[in-house]
Amino acid sequence: MPMSNKLKYESSPYLLQHSENPVNWYAWNEESLELARREDKPIIVSVGYASCHWCHVMEKESFEDVEVAEVMNKYFICIKVDREERPDIDHLYMTAVQIMTGSGGWPMNVICLPDGKPFWGGTYFKKEQWISVLQQLGELYEEDKPRIEDYADKLASGILSVNLTIPESDGTVFSKDELNSIITKWSQKLDNSFGGRSGAPKFMMPVNLEYLLKYYMLTGNTIAGDHVQLTLKKMALGGLYDHIGGGFSRYSVDDRWHVPHFEKMLYDNAQLIDLYTKAWVTFNDPHYKKVVEECIAFLQNELQHSNGMFFSSLDADSPDSKGKVTEGAYYVWKEKELKDLPENDQQLFHRYFNINDKGYWESGNYVLFRDLDDHAFTSENKLTPEELHRKLLSWKTYLLKLRSERKPPSLDDKILTSWNALAIKALANASVTFDRQDWLDIAIRNAEFVNTVLTKPEGTLFRVWKDGKAYVDAFLEDYALIIEAFITLYEVTGNDHWIMEAKRLCNLVLDDFYYERTGFFLFSPIKDEQLIAPTIEKSDNVIPASNSVMAINLFKLARYFSNQAYDDIALRMYKAMRSEIMEYPDSHANWLNLGMNFLFPFREIVITGESSAGIFTLLRKTPLTNILWAHTKDPVNIPLLKGRYSKDETLIYICRDQHCELPVKTLGEALKLLDTP
């Protein structure tokens, strides 16, 4: 059978990885779907992403194998999907796999009717198992298609029910007692030794930690506060964190954050920069500031395009010293490589990074891993902080030089709107917290890129940019997160261009995505041709659920623009999520974030006048939450600021639901008002 692999014409790094496979791969498009209908063949939809280790394993074991390819090509139309370019397809078929198997992951492999309705699915399969499944299903489709069609119809109904059924709301928000009971229930799943959720593997889940931090700040709940501090400390000391080049890997395979799954994702690092920034303001731990600085340096050094935007990810795998592509080869160390450390510091270095049984991984390799913070280590080893700092700089320089001689992991060099939105928000918040204008400059430059290059003439957005070309229409995730980023940029800069853009995009989302029948937003625009079932994303994953982000955007924009309709939609969405939040709070933490805005006092801080920016900067370094910020040195027409400007003086207004106290003129007076319940 002649090879007809169409992926060589694609832009996605993930699809291009498969372009030389003997499988007759197609991309997801009308041509491939029409071919399946015309030839009456079932479809294999295989979903993954460029930095996915197990995707590489299955490719090598199965998709590069001629025997496997013959079976796939004989019975099926084979479609490869980059989940990062097409999260709508990923969401749909992941729901199907979870219904069928109770779990999910990547690579994800689903077999569908020619119309796209799934009837079988799973994740990674070994070669023999994969061939057996394909032969059985291929023959079954030819011999008993009605049976398969009946099952597929029932499964499609189940997917539709999962995606579109919204629980009946009893019209209430959570009480403070109910929130306390949620924390008590949640705490039973938490690891009190290393932080995070108990067990392995361990994912960082920054959205959960952000909620727990906010809950601690509003209630003083020590379970929440202690867990956040423990988790942030252990993650940053663990092998999950790259102590030499900065940045976090996606998750650890063990329960103590030691051995990571070595891929590095933009979305993780952007969210963690923001989280560690907020934690530094709350707890003033110098280690948090160091993590922020090193993670931003990682983004700039290893993920930044010359246009300022950030690429998607670095692979977990790279060639080892013998040229064999191996997971983690770029990041791990053998003891013999550490014998020539400067200043005869081998023993001290070994103690600092656990080059011992505790830090050992496999095959003679060590993953750098700490169990003491710098304060404890200097005390135990009779060093001054200055001495340790000098040694660390020397060690890092030495190891970076060694690592530069290795072949680095491959880079997924596509630029995604939503993930860059997370980075814009994080850089803007970190810039004002740590007085770094250079970070703010990057955030503004990247926001302007979205505003121009990734925005169509009619005002809608693209999701993907690569090699000078923007493509794939944006999804709700992209709009929600870029609106959030633009609101943050407005809060930090006081430039009303960003809040007006946030409002414009919000109205666009209401027009194009709001599904009135459910009171929620679809993941794809309503006017677009939907897949076999429309998707409503309500649960958090590695990033917060797009509907929850959109609800918080509406809540904030309602206060900037005195728009009650925005507020009503946000509140209805939150109330409708009540039963799901109660049952699975750790999958709906961003909804709980929104709920805290309704349950606890929420204040708008408005600062006008020549010194407004300086006062704003000082206030932002104060541990505050449930706050919306607006500052300007010039009069503007935004409703929240209207009538609150006086020439030649700086005024500070502390407001609740747009009703403001009489203005004060000093930072001390403002802080006193903020201390008032």
Classify residue 497 by burial, with Cβ atoms within 10 Å: 0-12, 13-18, 19+. middle
Please state, for a pLDDT cut of 90, what percent of the chain lies above it.
88
Enter the tokens of residue 211.
Answer: 């909620």
Beta-carbon contacts of residue 674 (< 8 Å; ≥ 6 apart)? 603, 605, 622, 624, 654
Q: Is the pLDDT of residue 1 over 60?
A: no
pLDDT digits (tens, 9 = 90+) for 329-367: 999 999 999 888 876 788 999 999 999 999 999 999 999
- What pLDDT band is residue 481 in, cutting at 50, 70 and 90? very high
So what's the pLDDT on residue 342?
A: 72
What is the reported pLDDT for 528?
Answer: 75
**Confidence category of residue 178, pLDDT binned at 50, 70, 90:** very high
Does the reported pTM lie above 0.75?
yes
Neighbours of 254 (CB within 10 A): 18
- For residues 384-403, give the mean pLDDT: 94
**What band does 676 get if pLDDT is binned at 50, 70 and 90?**
confident
Q: What is residue 96's predicted lDDT score, i.e. its pLDDT?
A: 92
In sequence order, what are the residues at sequence separation of 6 or more whose Cβ sits closer than 8 angstroms to the Cβ of residue 216? 222, 224, 225, 228, 282
SS3 assignment for 577-616:
CHHHHHHCHHHCHHHHHHHHHHHCCCEEEEEECCCHHHHH
Question: Ranked by mean pLDDT, which of 96-105, 267-276, 571-580 comes out on top?
Answer: 267-276
Length reported for the chain: 677
DSSP 498-536: HHHHHHHHHHHHHHHTEETTTTEE-SS-TTSPP-SS---
Q: What is the pLDDT of residue 3?
A: 61
Cβ(127)–Cβ(62) below 8 Å = yes
Tokens describing residue 84: 């990062």
Over range 300-320, report the average pLDDT: 96
What's the CATH code, domain 7-164? 3.40.30.10
Tell whether the model's pLDDT for residue 172 goes beyond 90.
no
Q: What is residue 4's three-state secondary structure?
A: coil
Which residue reads 């029409």 in tokens? 34
Instruction: Give the residue extent of every domain in the chain.
Output: 7-164, 318-411, 603-674
Model pLDDT, residue 341: 82
What is the torsional sign of CA 425, 428, 429, 434?
positive
Average pLDDT, the chain: 94
pLDDT of residue 193: 96
Amino acid at site 252: S
- State the pLDDT confidence band at 641, using cuts at 50, 70 and 90: very high
Q: Say what the pLDDT of residue 452 is.
A: 97
**Is residue 530 scored above 90 in pLDDT?**
no
pLDDT at residue number 457: 97
Confidence of residue 165 (pLDDT cuts 50, 70, 90): low
Whether the per-residue pLDDT at 660 is higher than 90: the answer is no
For 432-473, the pLDDT digits (tens) are: 999 999 999 999 999 999 999 999 999 999 999 999 999 999
Query: DSSP letters of 93-110?
Result: HHHHHHHHHS---SSEEE
522 pLDDT tier (thresholds 50, 70, 90): very high
Contact in structure between 297 and 394 (CB atoms under 8 Å)? no
Average pLDDT score over residue span 4-15: 94
Tokens standing for residue 386:
């200055």
Q: Give the pLDDT confidence of 182-237 residue by residue, as tens digits.
A: 999 899 999 999 999 999 999 999 999 999 999 999 999 999 999 999 999 999 99
Q: Cis link prior to 201 (omega < 30° from 0)?
A: yes
Task: Kindly tell me if the per-residue pLDDT of 636 is higher than 70.
Answer: yes
**What does the block give as tokens for 78?**
């084979």
Instruction: Check pLDDT > 70 for residue 273.
Output: yes
Q: What is the pLDDT of residues 560-598, one digit of tens each?
A: 999 999 999 999 999 999 989 999 999 999 999 999 999
Structure tokens at 47: 């979903």
- DSSP readout, 210-261? HHHHHHHHHH--HHHHHHHHHHHHHHHHSTTB-TTT--B-SEESSSSS-SEE
Percentage of the chain lying above the pLDDT 70 cut:
98
Q: 629 pLDDT exceeds 80?
A: yes
Place of tokens 């309704």: 598
